[in-house]
Chains A and B, each alone.
Chain A
Amino acid sequence: MTEKKFSKKHEWVLLEGDIATVGITKHATELLGDIVFAEVPEAGKSVEKEGQAAVVESTKAASDVYSPISGEITEGNKTIVDDPSSINADPEGASWFFKLKIKDKGEINSLMSKDEYEKFCKENPN
């Protein structure tokens, strides 16, 4: 399965085998504004579904990034830590936050498809 899934907290997940890549959505970056700081988890850390996993800060405020799925972190994206503004440039591509080895593939079913997420954003503009 190579289709992105989306959470209500504006994260995306791309599952390839049992490795999920997680980032924040373009919509989230538009709400945040200019991103100036990012903190990503170290490999080996366990994260729960909807648990706090990373941090992103814009000029305006700090926000937590949650993992939409539980598992063990395999990699944090150091590129976005070194250049936080790259998150604004390519949030749903090169500027992913972390990868994790998932625990329960079933968890992904509770997430939204792209269409559902777009509808969700329209209904919840903030």
Chain B
Amino acid sequence: MKRVIMETQKTALYQIHKNLGAKFVPFAGYEMPIQYKDGIVKEHISTRTYAGFFDVSHMGQFFLEGDETLTEALEKIIPADLKSLRINHSKYSFLLNNDGGIIDDLIVTKTEKGFCIILNAACKENDINQILRFLGKNHKHLLNNDLSLIALQGPKSVEILDKLIPGVSSLKFMTGSNFNYDNEKLYITRSGYTGEDGFEISISNKKVEKLIKFLISKEVKPIGLGARDTLRLEAGLCLYGHDLNEKINPVEANLKWAIAKKRKEVGGFNGWDKIKNVLTNGSEKIRVGIKPEGKVIARENTQIYSTDDNKIGLVTSGTFGPSVNAPVAMGYVNSNYAKVGTLIKLEVRGKKYGGKISELPFYKKSYVK
């Protein structure tokens, strides 16, 4: 067997993370901070109550340029209504395979010359290959590794960032704009993946350290992947590779809202036959929120049973939710058991514990619309 030894990559902020006391883990080929000195629970709470910054530079910032044929090409693999997407507006969507399975989930933003797509780190190479299959010679594309991506999340984000970059407070959720900072252009969207108000800042690797130093001077805490996971799970948001994969379609993932209405009617994208079928007839299984009884944590791969002990599904994400102050989980269950309030059993270490199907999100969002 051929062994490929790949050096793990580091983001431009690696040394800063180290100085901030980060514990690193390998993640999608990168050395990423899982937590800092404060630990996951404190990092989580400070994001919910004040503000935290996340280095998400490992994610792919993929830029595409072209005319309306580019939009048509992308619509073959992305089920968003890209034709109607206005400049500086963003949508949550997916790349779909021929069976309607999710190759990756993403945020796509309409730019002046085309689109910018934010891709998951572990998927970005394959994603780009999948997208390229649909592009024409007149379409330009670039995975920009000279840019860092910083998420600033939490209720104080707007107040803090507006001091440095006046005007960001006028952005609405899922819109973006160009701003000037330190003689350089940067792109900021009002978005994130924590269930909090906040921003994602695309900034050159050369300037990112200066931005971080400003945030630290404003008492904004660094937040690692550990708290990013507890935050997104409380917000009911999916993590690719866990809650989503190529064998799961958006209807099963309970994400049909993210397929544009027009696209649901007209189709014309990868996996449309399959998706049309499950939209009409319903899917066998569906993603739900789960609240285990008491303190027991139902982690990924925990078996889910009905109260009469039939296997009905599997947990795909589960942890302790610091803001909910209880364990929370998501998973897929047989659609007959998906109603909120349905009692279930969860098998943890060979013992069955009670639980119930819960509404998502576990933690109420406060986006600025």
* Residues of A near any B CB (own CB < 8 A): 33-34, 36-37, 55, 57-62, 81, 84-85
Contact = CB atoms under 8 A, between A and B. Distances in A.
B96 interface: no
A83 B248 CA distance: 38
Interface of B: 34-35, 39-42, 226, 230, 295-297, 299, 319-320, 322, 327, 349
A124 to B, nearest CB: 16
A37 B296 contact: yes
Contacts of B299: 61-62
Given A62-B297, A62-B299, A33 B35 contact: yes
A60 B226 contact: yes
Contacts of A37: 295-297, 320, 327
B320 A59 contact: yes
B297 A33 contact: no
Top-4 shortest CB links A-B:
A36-B320, A34-B41, A59-B40, A34-B39
B297 A60 contact: no
B306 to A, nearest CB: 24
- Dominant secondary structure at the B interface: mixed
B83 to A, nearest CB: 43
A65 to B, nearest CB: 12
28 contacts: A33-B39, A33-B226, A34-B39, A34-B40, A34-B41, A36-B41, A36-B297, A36-B320, A36-B327, A37-B296, A37-B297, A37-B320, A37-B327, A55-B349, A57-B297, A58-B40, A59-B40, A59-B41, A59-B319, A59-B320, A59-B322, A60-B34, A60-B40, A61-B299, A62-B299, A81-B295, A84-B295, A85-B41
Given A34-B41, A36-B320, A59 B296 contact: no
Contacts of B319: 59
A84 B327 CA distance: 13
Nearest to B34: A60
Contacts of A55: 349
A37 to B, nearest CB: 5
Of the candidates B226, B297, B299, B322, the one having the most CB atoms from chain A within 10 angstroms of its own CB is: B297
Nearest to B35: A33
Contact of A36 (B34, B42, B295, B349): B295
A59 B317 CA distance: 12
